[in-house]
Amino acid sequence: MPSPLFSRFIVAALIMPLAQTVTAPAVQAHAVIIGSTPAVDDTVAPGDSDVTLHFNSRIDHQRSRLTLVAPDGTISSLAIVPDSAPDVVAAKMSGLGTGQYRLRWQVLAIDGHLTRGDIRFSVKTP
Ligand SMILES: [Cu+2]
């Protein structure tokens, strides 16, 4: 039988996502994206392109993830530049062909909370 402390932890873990949703506007420490390159629905040229995500709070680069979903559904992991600014997640995309892409980010803020999101963009020959 789990200890009372353990049970309380489980309850807290179950309630937390709901509480986060409800109180989100009041909480400043979660990492909220405040700007990105590419921006949502941007168009970039084929080839190599930089990714820069700017957050409202410091994030843990080592525990953050950035993945790229290609037009054919192939998912690749992008290496996050380790020495960028504390509130920036940066990476490089290479060999982009034309089509619709999706950048999936997941970051760990210094308050210990994970946030994630999707940035859709397309690659077109100018
Ligand atoms: Cu938080």
- Ramachandran area for residue 28 (φ above 0: left; ψ -120 to 50: alpha; else beta): alpha
Ligand 1 centre distance from Cα of residue 27 (Å)? 7
Residues 39 and 121: their CA atoms lie apart, in Å, by: 7
Residue 117 has pLDDT above 60, yes or no: yes
* 88 alpha carbon – ligand 1 mean position (Å): 17
86 CA distance to ligand 1 centroid (A)? 16
Alpha-helical (H) ranges within 1-126 are: 4-23
Distance 104 CA to ligand 1 centre (A): 19
- Centre of ligand 1 from the C-alpha of residue 97, in Å: 37
Asked if the model's pLDDT at residue 54 lies above 70, the reply is: yes
- Each residue of 19-30: pLDDT tens digit? 444 444 444 578
Residue 14: pLDDT above 90? Answer: no
* Ordered domains of the chain (ranges, CATH): 1-27 (no CATH), 31-123 (2.60.40.1220)
pLDDT, average across residues 36-45: 97
∠ Cα 112 13 54 (to 5°): 30
Q: Which percentage of the chain shows pLDDT scores above 70?
A: 78
